[in-house]
Amino acid sequence: MKTIKGPAIFLAQFAGDEAPFNSLDSIARWSASVGFKGVQMPSWDERIFDLDAAASSKDYCDEVKGTLAEHGLVLTELSTHLQGQLVAVHPAYDEMFDGFAAPEVRGNPAARQKWAVDQMMKAAKASQNLGLTDHASFSGALAWPYLYPWPQRPAGLVEAAFDELAKRWLPILDAFDDAGVNVCYEIHPGEDLHDGITFEMFLERVNNHPRCNILYDPSHFLLQQLDYLAFLDEYKDRIKMAHIKDAEFNPTAKQGVYSGYQSWVDRAGRFRSLGDGQVDFKGIFSKLAANDFDGWAVMEWECCLKHPEDGAREGSKFINDHIIRVTERAFDDFADGGTDHEANCRILGLG
């Protein structure tokens, strides 16, 4: 068994225009001051990270790691959640997702998709230059608008969508394989990969690619009413990353999983800061330890109520308190009789 590394923090929800969140040095100093040991880096936010430079310059990568090290931090992974989303976009979402892309490709879905693939290829090289082994992303979605089968879906519609999704991702997965890095898809509503079944549908179409893996986030499973503890056992060989994020689900007579188009604070299912929701983190950390999870416990802050800085400070302590330092010996070693093969044969009555 392995002791989980952490706590780490995903910086996407914290980077901003105001100090201390507007430069790598200052956000690293702040992250360390509230108890984190690692950071997961959003690759699209040029205020704190330059993906083009990281893909082309090992010197730049050494500078990034050096800046973090000055504050006692390590880089856990890069994220391309926004770029991965744009690898596959249904036309219904074209305008809403355009803001994720570079200005020069907005309004041009074909150019935007090509740009997204190029971003993913750069992320593979950047991860390699940084000495990373895992990478966080979204799958994008072509079939999501047809999640609920009404009107009745035409035969073969979902299959065609997943065939195309796999076709787009296979070259990217191969590039990450060349770089020695796992692509870890966050299993997430809004993505075609939003539960175990859809992950398996995709995995089959990419020929069980060794770099096709999972970023586990229990908050998205609780809101779907999925067994998030059993998921850890079912997919333990593919789970390479974990977001530690809390949520709650409180259905009423008026709303359930779909939550009636309400804002986050008024939904039956809501994201909460760590410790304020319903996720069984004792069970999760026990499963991760027993399953030899070799990654980081990364806090992703999303809460409809609490201030993010309070959520980060409390979250680092929460994760630290839940990480299980695994034992190096069995609890009953004191009673070891020191038997050998011959003794075992005698005990069993074997000649």
Q: How much is the average pLDDT of 236-258?
A: 98
Q: If we measure between CA atoms, which residue out of 130, 151, 146, 14 comes closest to residue 61?
A: 130
**84 near 140, Cβ under 8 Å?**
yes
Q: What is the pLDDT of residues 285-339, one digit of tens each?
A: 999 999 999 999 999 999 999 999 999 999 999 999 999 999 887 777 766 777 7
How confident is the model over 79-107, as pLDDT tens digits? 999 999 999 999 999 999 999 999 999 99
The pLDDT value recorded for residue 338 is 76
What pLDDT was estimated at residue 335? 66
Mean residue pLDDT of the chain comes to 96
Q: Compute the average pLDDT of residues 113-130.
A: 98
Q: Where are the domains of the chain?
A: 5-347
149: closest CA among 140, 157, 141? 157
Q: Over 80: is that where the pLDDT of 112 sits?
A: yes
pLDDT above 70 (res 22): yes
Gap between the Cα atoms of 97 and 74, Å rounded:
31
Distance CA 257, CA 248 (A): 11
Tell which phi-psi region holds residue 155, choosing left (phi > 0), alpha (psi between -120 and 50) or beta.
beta
> What's the pLDDT at 148?
96
Query: Could you report the per-residue pLDDT of 137-156, keeping only the tens digit for each?
Result: 999 999 999 999 999 999 99
CATH homologous superfamily of 5-347 equals: Divalent-metal-dependent TIM barrel enzymes (3.20.20.150)
